[in-house]
């Protein structure tokens, strides 16, 4: 038999799936490298030596405070997941919640828009055999609350910075347009969460009208929407919503204090200035396709702070240190999560 006529041991579907997976990983690496290049450009703008010398002159107590408030932020968000999932007996202890959130938080730090947080659903499935889609629905409920808080803060930040002259009118309009668009998308998601049965049945009916890949995709969407009942159940309990709202507000305050304290370790800064600037930089990092917005958020923050009259060298050094704090804390959280998984297995 000729060599070219030998039957393949690999199914065509498996080969295509492998190729797609390889392409996705390659794109992720490329995007991460782009983010690193942008971050390097932010540092190079003031000089690597300037940043290294600045790090050595930082006031340690402020950096210690920044580290502690970021640990508090992570702890508050892990507690939110415990409040969300413990009533369903998906998480049996706060320790388990910290481990699962640590895995999702670390993966989210390395993915665009923190989409990697949904990997926590896979971890919880392996721990307690909870369906991945149902856990994803609960995580979506948490994401909705985060999005609502962020939209409110973005509107305030856009108005504040425009009055301070740090945002051009065109940029301000773009910020508001993006916020309105995000609000519309959020309301659609809330509608989907509130009426999963209706939307799921409509999608299933629609999937019968298509054949092949399109029909399969629509059918999968219907199955996912059915599992959004977990989000609806969580948001239907007012006591739970109040707890989640308080925890979400506390986590955002800690996130803001992280960078505020990091900048204070070098230069006196107005709390409202750095808060509004940080909010805009968070939005810029979330909507970028770069994992964790690395470089994009740093560039946005340092440039806006420069327009407000703050020294570029000090704010750049503060951003570098705050990014290092977040990376180390997320790495430690992810590591302890994986160790917990190994211990449980």
- pLDDT (tens digit, 9 = 90+) per residue, 317-336? 999 999 999 989 999 999 99
**Which of 195-204, 264-273, 286-295 has the least mean pLDDT?**
195-204
pLDDT at 152: 82
Q: Is the pLDDT of residue 168 over 70?
A: no
pLDDT at 15: 47
pLDDT at 320: 92
Q: Is the pLDDT of residue 231 over 70?
A: no
Decide which of 222 and 159 is more confident: 159
**Which of 61-75, 79-93, 171-185 has the least mean pLDDT?**
171-185
What integer is the mean pLDDT of 166-194? 61
pLDDT at 106: 84
List, for residues 84-143, the tens digit of each pLDDT value: 887 777 888 888 888 888 888 888 777 776 777 778 888 888 888 877 777 777 777 788
What integer is the mean pLDDT of 151-160? 84
Backbone angles phi, psi at 169, to 5 degrees: -55, -40
pLDDT at 119: 81
- 111 contact partners, CB below 8 Å, separation of at least 6: 28, 291, 292
Q: Which of 258, 253, 256, 252 is nearest to 324 (CA)?
A: 258
List, for residues 239-288, the tens digit of each pLDDT value: 878 888 899 999 999 999 999 999 999 989 999 999 999 998 888 887 77
The answer to whether residues 244 and 87 touch, using CB atoms and an 8 Å cutoff, is no
Q: Is the pLDDT of residue 2 over 60?
A: no
pLDDT at 91: 81
> Biggest alpha carbon distance in the chain?
79
pLDDT at 56: 86
pLDDT at 67: 94
What integer is the mean pLDDT of 228-246? 73
Q: Which of 263, 280, 329, 337 is nearest to 63 (CA)?
A: 263
Q: Is the pLDDT of residue 20 over 70?
A: no
Work out the number of other CB atoms within 10 angstroms of the CB of residue 300: 22
**Which of 21-30, 65-74, 155-164 has the least mean pLDDT?**
21-30
Domain boundaries along the sequence of the chain: 52-344
pLDDT at 5: 46
Task: Please report which confidence band the pLDDT of residue 13 belongs to, taking 50, 70 and 90 as the band edges.
Answer: very low
How far, in Å, CA of 296 to CA of 316, rounded?
13
pLDDT at 250: 95
Task: Please report which confidence band the pLDDT of residue 73 belongs to, taking 50, 70 and 90 as the band edges.
Answer: very high
Backbone angles phi, psi at 265, to 5 degrees: -70, -10
The answer to whether residues 286 and 113 touch, using CB atoms and an 8 Å cutoff, is yes
How far, in Å, CA of 53 to CA of 70, rounded?
24
Total-model pTM: 0.78
Average pLDDT, the chain: 79
**Which of 54-58, 165-169, 212-216 has the least mean pLDDT?**
165-169
């Amino acid at each position: 038999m000729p060599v070219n006529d030998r039957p393949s041991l690999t199914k065509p579907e498996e080969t295509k799936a492998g190729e797609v997976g390889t392409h996705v990983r390659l794109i992720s690496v490329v995007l991460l490298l782009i983010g690193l290049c942008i971050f390097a450009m932010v540092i190079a703008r003031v000089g690597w030596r300037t940043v290294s010398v600045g790090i050595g002159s930082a006031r340690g107590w402020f950096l210690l405070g920044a580290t502690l408030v970021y640990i508090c932020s992570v702890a508050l968000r892990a507690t939110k997941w415990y409040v969300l999932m413990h009533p369903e007996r998906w998480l049996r202890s706060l320790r388990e919640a910290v481990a699962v959130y640590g895995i999702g938080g670390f993966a989210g730090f390395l993915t665009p828009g923190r989409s990697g947080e949904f990997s926590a659903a896979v971890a919880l499935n392996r721990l307690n055999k909870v369906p991945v889609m149902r856990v994803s629905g609960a995580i979506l409920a948490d994401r909705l609350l985060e999005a609502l808080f962020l939209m409110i803060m973005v509107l305030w930040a856009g108005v504040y910075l425009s009055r301070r002259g740090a945002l051009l009118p065109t940029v301000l309009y773009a910020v508001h347009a993006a916020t309105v668009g995000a609000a519309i998308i959020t309301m659609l998601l809330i509608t989907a969460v509130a009426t999963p049965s209706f939307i799921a049945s409509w999608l299933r009916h629609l999937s019968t009208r298509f054949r092949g890949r399109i029909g399969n995709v629509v059918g999968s969407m219907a199955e996912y929407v059915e599992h959004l009942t977990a989000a609806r159940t969580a948001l239907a309990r007012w006591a739970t919503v109040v707890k989640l709202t308080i925890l979400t507000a506390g986590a955002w305050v800690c996130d803001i204090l992280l960078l505020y304290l990091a900048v204070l370790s070098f230069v006196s800064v107005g709390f409202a200035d750095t808060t509004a600037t940080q909010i805009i930089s968070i939005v810029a990092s979330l909507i970028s396709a770069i994992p964790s917005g690395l470089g994009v958020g740093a560039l946005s923050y340092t440039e806006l702070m420069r327009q407000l009259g703050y020294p570029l060298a000090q704010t750049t050094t503060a951003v570098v240190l705050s990014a290092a704090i977040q990376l180390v804390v997320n790495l430690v959280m992810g590591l302890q999560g994986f160790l917990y998984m190994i211990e449980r297995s």
